[in-house]
Structure 1
Amino acid sequence: MLQDTFERVLPGARKSTKRHILRCALECFLESGIESTTIDTIRQRSGTSVGTIYHHFGNKEGLVAALFFAALDDHKAVMWPELERANSPKTVIEELVHSYMDWVTRQPELARFMFLARSSVAAGPFGEELAVRNREQYSVLHKWLAEGVKLGDIRSLPKETYPSLLLGQSENYCRAWLSGRVPTPPGDHAPVFADSAWRSLAQQI
């Protein structure tokens, strides 16, 4: 599954070494944590040289960011088509939750890494790139939220509250599943969380 993911976001034979390093880095980060993993650890796991790793990623922060963005791009590839096919604010909200929880179920390693790395990427030198990517990724969602408010279907709330209301509960469940605290895959409960997200934003039920 991971091989397919990296092939999709980094296609082509010329990027095979880069994909291999990313897969090995992901294993190291999940086993030892981001802070404890060194470039030399990844070098040993991947069988490449330090120079090759630096050539492709610049430094450890660049490697962490490249892996995070690869995961983000893979999630976007799943989510975007569903959001673009939606025809109402309710459908957009439900599809967002479904696509997110289904993706976590299919890509638990990448999802676990994203939870580990999100704050360091946001606070590091790639924070602005992450902000731009997030704005682009959720542009369709924001359009539908604004339309829903205009139509009176969605409550007008402070903009910063919408992400937590949309995905806060589903993210919490995904974290619990990824840590082994609950047994049922998130995708199995997506309808429950999608309905809850809609109810938290809908003007009237």
Structure 2
Amino acid sequence: MARSARKQEILQAALACFTEFGVDATTIEMIRDRSGASIGSLYHHFGNRERIIGALYLEGIGEYAALLETGLLDSLEAEACVKLFVTCYVDWVVVHPDWARFILHNRGRVEAGEMGERLREFNREHGGRIATILRRHREAGAFKAIPGECFVSVVIGPVQDMARNWLAGRSKAPLADYRELLAEIAWDSVRRRTDA
């Protein structure tokens, strides 16, 4: 079996165990049993349980980032760019609810762990690419004067909170039902109004 396929099997087995038993209660042996991998294979690919947690986290945010960046073409207008943050987020969460739940609950753990620097580096690189794409819209005056470090929080905050509620079973309607509404709210929050 190819190494990348084995790594994916281990990560998906880990996610299944984390979902079923919780991150703290899941042992490396449980992941090994679920994945069918040898203990040597687990340690070869990851080294320990914390690295499995970090790798699963990084892969999940990487998937969302790739989905977002693929859509954020230079040809998109400012409104489409902002709305894409929300629609990509909703789409990814709906397809991967267990992974999304894992990511929402384990950021601090990964940041504080041995893979924290890799996470910070990923965030710097991804953030830089996003800032470059959004810069031309900012310079063209499409957005309100919002500090750069605050911009994404304003855009993604409401959908992230709604996703948390949906993932926890507190929302009665499917998250996808609010996709367009949340995208419109994000755009209304950051766009510079010219009619005032």
Q: TM-score, normalised by structure 2?
A: 0.89
Of 24, 28, 32, the residue aligned with 2:17 is: 28
- RMSD, aligned CA: 1.9
Q: Is the 8 A contact 2:13 2:34 kept in 1?
A: yes
Classify 1:196/1:86 alpha carbon distance in 2 versus 1 (closer, same or farther; 3 Å): farther
Q: Distance in 2 between matches of 1:96 and 1:139?
A: 15
The SS at the match of 2:72 is helix
Q: Is the 8 A contact 1:153 1:203 kept in 2?
A: yes
Moved more, 173-182 or 159-168: 159-168
Of 92, 103, 125, the residue aligned with 1:114 is: 103
1:142-181 CA-to-partner distances (Å, cap 9, x unmatched) read 1243333322221222232212201000000111111111
Q: Distance in 2 between matches of 1:85 and 1:203?
A: 20
Q: Distance in 2 between matches of 1:140 and 1:193?
A: 23
Q: How does 1:51-70 map to 2 (within 5 A)?
A: 51-70=40-59
Structure 1: stretches of 5+ with no match in the other structure: 1-11
Q: Is the 8 A contact 1:89 1:144 kept in 2?
A: no
The SS at the match of 1:183 is coil
Classify 1:135/1:55 alpha carbon distance in 2 versus 1 (closer, same or farther; 3 Å): same
Of 83, 88, 95, the residue aligned with 1:94 is: 83
One-letter amino acid matched to 1:66: A
1:33-70 CA-to-partner distances (Å, cap 9, x unmatched) read 21221212212322333222111101111101111122
Per-residue deviation at 1:192? 0.7
Aligned to 2:189: 200
State whether structure 2 residue 143 is matched by structure 1 residue 154. Answer: yes
Classify 1:78/1:144 alpha carbon distance in 2 versus 1 (closer, same or farther; 3 Å): closer
Q: Distance in 2 between matches of 1:143 and 1:47?
A: 43
Aligned to 1:72: 61
Aligned to 1:185: 174
The SS at the match of 1:35 is coil
Q: Distance in 1 between matches of 2:177 and 2:126?
A: 25
Q: Deviation above 6 Å: which 4+ runs of structure 1?
A: none
Q: Percent identity over the alignment?
A: 35
Classify 1:198/1:41 alpha carbon distance in 2 versus 1 (closer, same or farther; 3 Å): same
Q: Distance in 1 between matches of 2:59 and 2:119?
A: 12
Structure 2: stretches of 5+ with no match in the other structure: none
Q: TM-score, normalised by structure 1?
A: 0.85
Q: Distance in 2 between matches of 1:78 and 1:192?
A: 20
Q: Is the 8 A contact 2:74 2:133 kept in 1?
A: no
Moved more, 169-178 or 185-194: 185-194
Per-residue deviation at 1:90? 1.6
Classify 1:100/1:36 alpha carbon distance in 2 versus 1 (closer, same or farther; 3 Å): same
One-letter amino acid matched to 1:15: S
Classify 1:165/1:183 alpha carbon distance in 2 versus 1 (closer, same or farther; 3 Å): same
One-letter amino acid matched to 2:139: K
Of 117, 126, 129, the residue aligned with 2:118 is: 129
